[in-house]
Structure 1
Amino acid sequence: MLTKNVKQMVEDQAVAAKKAAKVLGMLTTEEKNDVLLTLADALEDRYQDILNANEVDLENGRKNGFEEAFMDRLALSKERVYDFAKGLREVAQLKDPVGDVLSDWTLENGLHVSEVRVPLGVIGMIYEARPNVTVDATGLALKSGNAIILKGGSSAISSNKAIVDVMHEALEKTIIPKEAVQFIESTDRAATEALFTMKEHVDVLIPRGGGALINAVVNNATVPVLETGVGNCHLYVDADADVQKALAILVNAKTDRPAVCNAAETLLVHQKWFEQHKQELIRTLNEHNIGVHGDETVVEAIPGAMLATETDWAEEYLSLDIAIKVVSDENEAIDHIDQYGTKHSEAIITENKQTAQKFMSLVDAAAVYHNASTRFTDGGALGFGAEIGISTQKLHARGPMGLPALTTIKYLMSGNGQIR
């Protein structure tokens, strides 16, 4: 049961955001860009205040025994805060999708029809220990003409509050009211539950975090959800894979940033390739301290490998662990991905173009790669600028969601007294 005070608090914030969204919808691209640049300057000027608040969260994390991957996402530094500011400046340089005419035509009766991009309105952002999301989501929302309600996890409460305080202070010097950026400070679960049901005031919810968070939002919200997905990403090394290419991609996809959703979690290897190159594979795994959970063939061949359980094939390790399975061909690899994949990012390494085309056509995922690392499933890496998340669903938006994903369409009809 929601307490009346918490529900009323969230509703008041949602109402204020909706009112501010009306102001945002009337701004020019130049006005929005000026605001983003002001926010960027403020974050750099006040970085020490943000780091002081972050240290409170880190100390609580250490006391609670949070995992290394979790602490890495939570930790801030001067460089990371400056990267936040850089991201806002990059968003300011991006093309504004609002007002784009996607198509237009004139009916036989003279009625002119235009299909135009417009802001969604009010975005509710629910996320975990990722203070960067506070800035990225705000920048993308404001540039696309949307107000935003931020509900970060309790583990980053001090960091997020400090970041929002800085942005609010900066917004007071701009044309955008600070009410356009709402931050729910309450760590009460009832506050999140209240946001789930604010359909009258909130246009879309975007969850960003682990599977438990995403499922909670999808299963309980009455507000429409733009679902971001966890990443049980696979690499399939085909019989015709180049050895050096395969090993380099494996190292990058697994070790570059193990704690992110586009890191590889499962390696599927063609039996022929495994038999020919297992020594090179073993050497590479050892050099990079990659822990192996494998099938019986893998356990027999790789010293120290643990026998994989059913859970291991579905696991998002977010660490230097990987599941390895030897398969007979690309069909078995595709079947495995169909069963355990999360429709995020999948890759095939092969010099056989026909096999690559088959894999890329049949694998159901937001991003599918041939001879490249899954680490490119990222808004910045693909040239979208900052991203609000990576969608694994099929409606409205899929893959890295940049500015266009935060808009919808409106049909504008212009006539001269036409009636039907």
Structure 2
Amino acid sequence: MLDIQNIRRDFPFLKQMVHGKPVVFLDTGASAQKPNVVIDAVKESYTNDYANVHRGVYYLSDQATEKYEGTRKVVQNFLNAEKLEEIIFTKGTTESINLVASSLLDDYFEVGDEILITEMEHHANIVPWQLMSKHKPLVIKYIPVTDKGELDLSALPSLLKAKTKLISLTHCSNVLGTINPIKEIIQQIRQNYPDIAIMVDGAQSIVHQKVDVRDLDCDFFAFSSHKLYGTTGVGVLYAKEKWHWLMSPYQGGGDMIKLVTMQQTTFADPPYKFEAGTPDIIGVIGLSKAIEYVQGVGMDNISAHEQALLQYATKSLKTIPGLRILGESEHKAAVITFVIDGFHANDLGTLLDLSGICVRTGHHCAQPLLQRFNVPSTVRASFGIYNTQEDVDALIKGLNKAMKMLN
């Protein structure tokens, strides 16, 4: 069991008051708060260790490069990637997906090829593929979602065709909380279509559970630092080595070249081939501290704590008349999205804020999914390592108060 009060002391954000009330942060699914070890590492690096990486011959540059590249090793071990070169630093999950889409467009996809995604995807795993299909005519298909909020995998065999070249799907829905059986899905696909590229959006799953990319056997896996208690503006793309030489550079510029002449350019070996320009050096260093922090707490401990909160919150929310939860899969992360009959989500969110309670309202960058459930806007409470049952109680009290005010 976690010493939750000790953990809460690691997060200075939680000490503040909002509208004169102790802050109750229930929006970790959007972006997690940062522990002191991450904040201190960022401050220390900017104060004493800052220099550009890879290019300097002086001591500080060597130190910065060592810390920056040390994070790549931390991430490799965290994901259990086979090779260090399979870890590519990006700005976040969104850029990671865009990188794959853009890099494979010219040499992998042919006109009329098909891309398979799901109805529960974040816009970051929909829009890039739509953009690519405008550059080269491609067909996008969707795995449907059941009323329970799970993928209808019975439809998968009929959707897979000889023309299917890539499948990209979320490991965990940011709206429904559904944890998809990625390993089983990939095994099913590989039986008949071993060469299809498979990408996994791990932005939500990486926070709640252990991830082993070799065990999953995915070709690509993406996640963001800021959801993992790390810095913003930093992400990771795991790309299995076999794809490196088929992928064209996503951007051109400094640090991704071997030789540039007036006529042509030869590119650096991966991963640097995909890391043009000066990166977010300090942010990457902060990511390593965030990973070390959650590993120190223990991913199994985090998962157990959040699952207990999820069960408590689900039971508590169902006591509210007219409240309907979207997504009640048996395999869920600590994310609950709901509507209450007769009340607009934004009104509820605004009044909850007056009680110091931070929730997310709206379509959560998943408009096709909300259209599937025929709701324009919802309230989402997403839990993290620092949340407690008292936070859930505050949410219930705040919702009841808001409903009385709105009646």
TM-score over 0.5 for the alignment? no
TM-score, normalised via structure 2 length: 0.27
TM-score, normalised via structure 1 length: 0.26
- Structure number with greater CO (CA < 8 Å, separation at least 6) is 2
